[in-house]
Structure 1
């Protein structure tokens, strides 16, 4: 096989050399030209003997059309052969029907040509349907334009229509799934906002006297525990020599038991402290504020109700009645000072935390201009009712929390507007799908009527 190919190449080269010899270059370049011609002819021979196996694009469509044409021609030849055989074996009396048979044969030929055209249009529609399956941006206008250009190209089978209905059904299901996901996402975001509002209301519901009472109770308990621990340490320093003497006598097991006992005492003390703090954190019953005059009257009544012995002196009575009050007042002042310091520390920590979180917040980043400007109260009427102004001055935490609250409301409104836009888009898509289905049904009925007339 290779030897035959070489002979053909040699013959072709000789013929080309003889034809183009007057136009060749000087003799020193003849060899290079011959090599170029040899490589070109060899490439053409390889291309002719080894065609590509895969046909893609328009060439594949052309091959399909040619195959369909050949199949139609073979069917036409078979029908024509059967007709000739039937005409040869028929009686002479049937010659009168020859004209009618020729006319029927001509009609079959016309029908064959129509079927060939329909086959070509069906191939085109199949390619368009494949493109529609791969594309998610199929619109009604494209369908109308394609259907309007070739009204007779609609298929006479239900396969293409079923594919279109399947595509539309999947699109509708995808839209419904997107709507359900958006609804669940909106519910989740709304629940998170409600939780945040509830937590903020719970934190702000505690009054200053309740916090002061809880802090003072915890301070007293911690002070008592520290004093007890210091007394134990001082007592242990006085008896250091005795402890060393006892430790030398005690074994390791006794030391472990002693350590376990002290650790259990520590755990009991800590548990008792936590229980007291939790009980003291409970809200106190609200009582009417007592005026200084009422307090003096109550002290006088208690003093008059108390039965004093006749030999008691007036200074002792005054000391017993006033000294506890003075001591209580001093303790209250100390607690108030400590509470103010603690409140300032908590306020500073809260402000720092809000500043740090404002840089990491996605809500404030989504609404930076309105939330961080001082004019967001004027824009609040767009998203809801404006809160009533309060004459009392606001603290730093409340002032810094206002942008957060407004940004949360704006985010909720933006989310609801996005959901409404998605719902409208889904409704429009449903309307377009219904219109497309009705147009496809109308075109299918028109095609059926046309086939029935033919």
Structure 2
């Protein structure tokens, strides 16, 4: 190395630190020759040709599709770069083959370049390394399996004598033997049971058959009784319904007639009626009363007959005596009358049933609507109450008490209306409170803005007055452009600045 005495201290330190790595040209060439000869010996020991080109230890035929998991660090990066190199080589060879095929199709062209082929004695160190890694992983897996097998072999269940009862029960005490007398007695007691088993089975089958027959007979009797009772009940039920319908029709007709007779308005008094004497009026009233009495007598008689007939039919058939022919005839007459009236009243009853069903539907819909509206009103009132508790606007702008008092005084007058108002919360009043608060807040904001604008305008006027006074004091009443002084005098200003 040359002498560095004339260099600064920092460069001397840098040269001293780099001195082990910086070598002369001849020494570098000698080191390269030694390395090439050493590699040529290891890579191509048969031929004595030196390696005169850069070495590539990667074979294009090698397969590095998946990097093993056990490889880490620089080796993993090297394998990744090897994959990229092999891919690039394959693409290059494919492109060169296509290009060469195109040239051959055009004409015979002599290619001066020679394709480098791998030598026969070349060992792919990368494939050997990958094979070593795979063998190591396989060895690790087999070692883990062997460890678990050893652990299982140490347990007692792995031994061949684990399921041998003699070995298992070797240390246990023997159970006492059963006495011979007990064995003989039990054997002798079981023998007759075995002999009588068929007899008992036969008896059991007979009992089952007998029970089935009795069950079938009882079922038949029950079906007959049910059929008789159904027919009798249907017959008596139809008669009773007819009698009840006739009774109700008579009662309704009599009540309507009585109501008409009692509630009929008096005839209007005009010139002709005012001239009638009081005697004719009295006769008319008496005749009306007699007709009412006759109708009531017929009503009571018919009602008594209906009650007697219905009472006679409701009694059980065993209690009917032979001397009741008159009652039966009366009941038959009433039934014939009831049949006629039922035929007349049947369409009206159908219409009344339809009207009643419609009324029921309307009532159900009304109750559903009231329930849903009450739920919505309750939820809305709860939400407004929660917002009123959390709001800062309502306390700042409350609604006037006089307005609320006036509205309450002008509200419900009766006790029922007041109770309905107390039951149903006034949601509109709560909304009006929010509207009033928002309006008052808007008005307050507008007032504040207008006040600030007025203050700003006054400040502007005062500032203009102050500026005018300053102008008058400085004598600058005339309008003059400040840039007019600089027009043509820029050179003089530069000279003044240079002098200073």
**Shorter-chain TM-score range:** under 0.3
Higher relative contact order (CA 8 A, sep 6+): 1
